[in-house]
Chain A
Amino acid sequence: MLNNFVMPDLYPAAPEIFLLLMSFLVLFVDLVFGATHRWMAAMLTMIALIGCAAITLVTSDGQTTLTFGNMFVDDLLSDFLKLLTYLAVIMMLVYGRQYMADRGLDKGEFYLLVLYATLGMMVMISAANFLTIYLGLELMSLSLYGLVAIDRDNTRATEAAMKYFVLGALASGLLLYGMSMIYGATGTLEIGGIAQALYHGQSEKTVLVLGLVFLVGGIAFKLGLVPFHMWIPDVYHGAPTAVTMFIGSAPKLAAFAMALRLLVYGLFGLAADWQTMLLIMAVLSIALGNLAAIAQTNIKRMLAYSAISHMGYMVLGLMSGVVGGQVDAFTAINAYSSALYYTVAYVLMSLGAFGMVLLLSRAGYEAENLEDFKGLNKRSPWFAAMMLIIMFSMAGIPFFIGFFAKFAVLLAAIKAGYTAVAVVAVMFSLIGAFYYLRVVKLMYFDTPVDSAPIAAGMDLRVLLSLNGLAVAGFGLFPDAVMMICTTTLMRSL
Chain B
Amino acid sequence: MNSQLLSLAIWVPILGALPVFWIGSERRTLVRWLSLAVAVAGFLVTIPLYTGFDAAQGGMQFVEQAPWITRFNTQYFLGVDGISMPFILLNSLITVLVVLAGWEVIEEKQAQYMGAFLVMSGLMNGIFSALDGILFYVFFEASLIPMYIIIGAWGGPNRVYAAFKFFLYTLLGSLLMLVALIWLFLESGGSFNILDWHQLPIGIKPQILIFIAFLVSFAVKVPMWPVHTWLPDAHVEAPTGGSVVLAAIALKLGAYGFVRFSLPIVPDASHQLAPLIIALSLIAVIYIGFVALVQTDMKKLIAYSSISHMGFVTLGFFIFNQIGIEGALVQMISHGFVSAAMFLCVGVMYDRMHSRQIADYGGVVNTMPKFAALFVFFAMANSGLPATSGFVGEFMVILGAIKFNFWIGFAAATTLILGAAYTLWMVKRVVFGEVGNAHVAELKDIGHREFLVLGLLAVCVLAMGLYPFPFTEVMHASVDNLLKHVAVSKLQ
Q: Residues of A with Cβ closer than 8 Å to B? A: 377, 381, 385, 388, 392, 397-399, 403-404, 407-408, 410-411, 414-415, 419, 422-423, 426-427, 429-430, 433-434, 437, 440-441, 444-445, 478-479, 482-483, 486
Is B68 a contact partner of A414 (Cβ separation < 8 A)? Answer: no
Q: Which residues of B contact A430 (CB under 8 A)?
A: 168, 171-172, 175
In the complex, 28 of the A-B residue pairs with CB atoms within 8 angstroms, ordered by the A residue number, are A377-B112, A381-B24, A385-B21, A392-B145, A398-B138, A398-B139, A399-B138, A403-B141, A404-B69, A407-B178, A411-B186, A414-B179, A419-B179, A423-B176, A423-B179, A426-B175, A427-B175, A430-B172, A434-B168, A440-B148, A440-B149, A441-B160, A441-B163, A441-B164, A445-B163, A479-B69, A483-B70, A483-B71
CA distance A414 to B152 in the complex (A): 35
Which chain A residues lie closer than 8 Å to B141 at the CB level?
Answer: 397-398, 403
A411 to B: closest C-beta gap in Å = 5
Contact: B164 with A444, CB < 8 Å? Answer: no
User: What is the chain B residue whose CB lies nearest that of A475?
Assistant: B138
Interfacial chain A residues near B142, Cβ < 8 Å: 397-399
List 18 additional A-B contacts (Cβ < 8 Å) besides A377-B112, A433-B167: A385-B21, A392-B145, A398-B137, A398-B139, A399-B138, A404-B69, A408-B71, A411-B72, A414-B182, A414-B183, A415-B186, A422-B182, A423-B179, A430-B168, A430-B172, A440-B149, A479-B67, A479-B68
Chain A's nearest CB lies how many Å from the CB of B197? 16
Closest to B151 in A: A445
Inter-subunit contact B159/A445 (CB<8 Å): yes
> How far is A404 from B168 in the complex, measured between Cα atoms in Å?
20
The answer to whether B138 touches A479 (Cβ under 8 A) is no
Contact at A437–B164, with CB atoms within 8 Å? yes
* Distance (whole angstroms) from the CB of B265 to the closest CB of chain A: 17
Closest-CB distance, A448 to chain B (whole angstroms): 13
Contact between chains at B164 and A426 (CB < 8 Å) = no
What residues of chain B lie closer than 8 Å to A419, measured between beta carbons? 179, 183
Cβ A426 vs Cβ B163 within 8 A:
no
Docked Cα-Cα span, A125 to B400, in Å, equals 67
Closest to B159 in A: A445
A441 to B168, CA, bound (A): 13
**Binary contact readout B137-158 vs A (1 if CB under 8 angstroms, 0 otherwise):** 1110110110011001100000
Docked Cα-Cα span, A410 to B181, in Å, equals 11
Q: Is B185 an interface residue (CB 8 A)?
A: yes
Chain A residues with CB under 8 Å of B168's CB are 430, 433-434, 437
Q: Which residues of B contact A377 (CB under 8 A)?
A: 109, 112, 153
Say which residue of B70, B139, B160, B186 sits within 8 Å of A479 (CB atoms). Answer: B70
Nearest B residue to A384 via CB reads B112
Q: B179 touching A410 by the CB < 8 A rule?
A: yes
Instruction: Looking at the assembled complex, report how far the CB atom of B236 sits from the nearest CB atom of chain A, in whole angstroms.
Output: 16
How long is the Cα–Cα vector from A408 to B112 in the complex, in angstroms? 33
Q: Given A398-B137, A403-B138, A410–B148 Cβ distance below 8 Å?
A: no
B134 in contact (CB, < 8 A) = yes
Majority secondary structure of chain A interface residues (helix, strand, loop or mixed): helix
B window 42-77: CB within 8 A of A: 67-72
> Cβ of A486: which chain B residues have Cβ within 8 Å of it?
71
Q: Is the CB of A411 within 8 A of B176?
A: no
Bound Cα distance from A398 to B181, whole angstroms: 15
**Interface size classification for chain B:** 35 or more
Q: How distant is the Cα of A419 from the Cα of B180 in the complex, in angstroms?
A: 10
Q: B185 contacts which chain A residues (CB < 8 A)?
A: 411
Contact A407 B179 (CB under 8 A): no
Contact across chains for B152 and A444 when beta carbons are under 8 A apart: yes
Residues of B within 8 A of A427 (CB): 175
CB of A444 to closest CB in B, whole Å:
5
Measured between beta carbons, the chain A residues less than 8 angstroms from B176 are 423, 426
What's the Cα separation between A394 and B172 when bound, in Å?
Answer: 16
Neighbouring B residues of A441 by C-beta, 8 Å: 152, 160, 163-164
What residue in chain B is nearest A446 (Cβ atoms)?
A: B160
Cα separation A482 to B73 with both chains bound (whole Å): 12
Chain A residue with the shortest CB-CB distance to B183: A414
Q: How far is the CA of A186 from the CA of B241 in the complex (A)?
A: 69
A220, B252: Cα distance in complex, Å: 46
Q: How far is the CB of B107 from chain A (nearest CB, A)?
A: 14
List, in ascending order, chain B residues with CB within 8 A of A385's CB. 21
Name B71's contact: one of A414, A429, A434, A479 (CB within 8 Å). A479
Residues of B within 8 A of A445 (CB): 152-153, 159-160, 163
Q: Is the CB of B172 within 8 A of A482?
A: no
CA distance A202 to B369 in the complex (A): 94
In the complex, what's the smallest C-beta–C-beta distance from B340 to chain A, in angstroms?
A: 25
CA distance A398 to B134 in the complex (A): 10
| Identity of the chain B residue whose Cβ is nearest the Cβ of A389 in the assembled complex | B145
6 nearest interchain CB pairs? A398-B138, A426-B175, A445-B152, A482-B71, A414-B182, A479-B69
Q: How far is the CB of A420 from chain B (nearest CB, A)?
A: 10
B137: chain A residues within 8 A (beta carbon)? 398
| Cβ-closest chain B residue relative to A477 | B68
Q: How far is the CA of A69 from the CA of B207 in the complex (A)?
A: 56
Give the CA-CA distance A427 to B183 in the complex, in Å.
17
Instruction: Tell me, in angstroms, the Cα distance from A444 to B163 when the chains sit together.
Output: 12
Q: Which residue of B lies closest to A445 (CB)?
A: B152
Q: Let me know if B167 and A437 touch, CB within 8 A.
A: yes
Per-position binary interface string of chain B over residues 171-202, scored 1 when its CB falls under 8 Å from any chain A CB and 0 otherwise:
11001101100110110000000000000000
B-side contacts of A411, CB under 8 Å: 72, 182, 185-186
Within 8 A of A (CB), among B175-233: 175-176, 178-179, 182-183, 185-186
Q: Which residues of B contact A381 (CB under 8 A)?
A: 21, 24, 112
Q: A429 touching B175 by the CB < 8 A rule? A: yes
Q: In the complex, which residues of chain A have a beta carbon less than 8 angstroms from the beta carbon of B21?
A: 381, 385
- Complex: how many Å from CA A290 to CA B52? 50
| Distance in angstroms between the alpha carbons of A398 and B138 in the assembled complex | 5
Interface string of B329-369 (1 = CB under 8 A from A): 00000000000000000000000000000000000000000
The one of B149, B171, B175, B178 in contact with A444, judged by C-beta atoms closer than 8 angstroms, is B149
Task: Provide the bound-state CA to CA distance between A491 and B87, in Å.
Answer: 48
A422 to B182, CA, bound (A): 10
**A478 with B164, Cβ < 8 A, contacts A397-B144, A398-B137 known:** no
Task: Report B481 CB to chain A, min CB distance, Å.
Answer: 30
A407 CA / B181 CA spacing, docked (Å): 11
Instruction: Give the one of B70, B176, B179 with max A CB within 10 A.
Output: B179
Q: How far is the CA of A419 from the CA of B213 in the complex (A)?
A: 13
Cβ-closest chain A residue relative to B109: A377
The answer to whether B71 touches A426, judged by C-beta atoms less than 8 angstroms apart, is no
A478 and B183 contact, Cβ closer than 8 Å, known pairs A427-B175, A433-B167 = no
Contacts of A433 in B (CB 8 A): 167-168, 171
A486–B175 alpha-carbon span in the complex (Å): 26
Whether A437 pairs with B179 at a CB distance below 8 angstroms is no
Name the one of B67, B69, B148, B179 contacting A426, with C-beta atoms under 8 angstroms. Answer: B179
**A392-B145 Cα distance, complex, nearest whole Å:** 8
The minimal Cβ–Cβ distance linking B139 to chain A, given in whole angstroms, is 8
CB-based nearest A residue for B69: A479
A426–B160 CB distance below 8 A: no
Given the complex of chains A and B, what is the CA–CA distance between A377 and B176 in angstroms? 32
Instruction: Say how far B449's CB is from chain A's closest CB, in angstroms.
Output: 27
Closest residue of B by beta carbon distance from A433: B171
Residues of A close to B167: CB separation below 8 A = 433, 437
C-alpha spacing A414/B179, complex, angstroms:
8
Shortest Cβ gap from B25 to chain A (Å): 9
Q: Which residues of B contact A444 (CB under 8 A)?
A: 149, 152-153
Q: Tell me the complex Cα distance, A385–B112, Å.
A: 11
Query: B24 to chain A: which residues have CB within 8 Å?
Result: 381
Known contacts A392-B145, A445-B160; is-contact A407 B134 (Cβ 8 Å)? yes
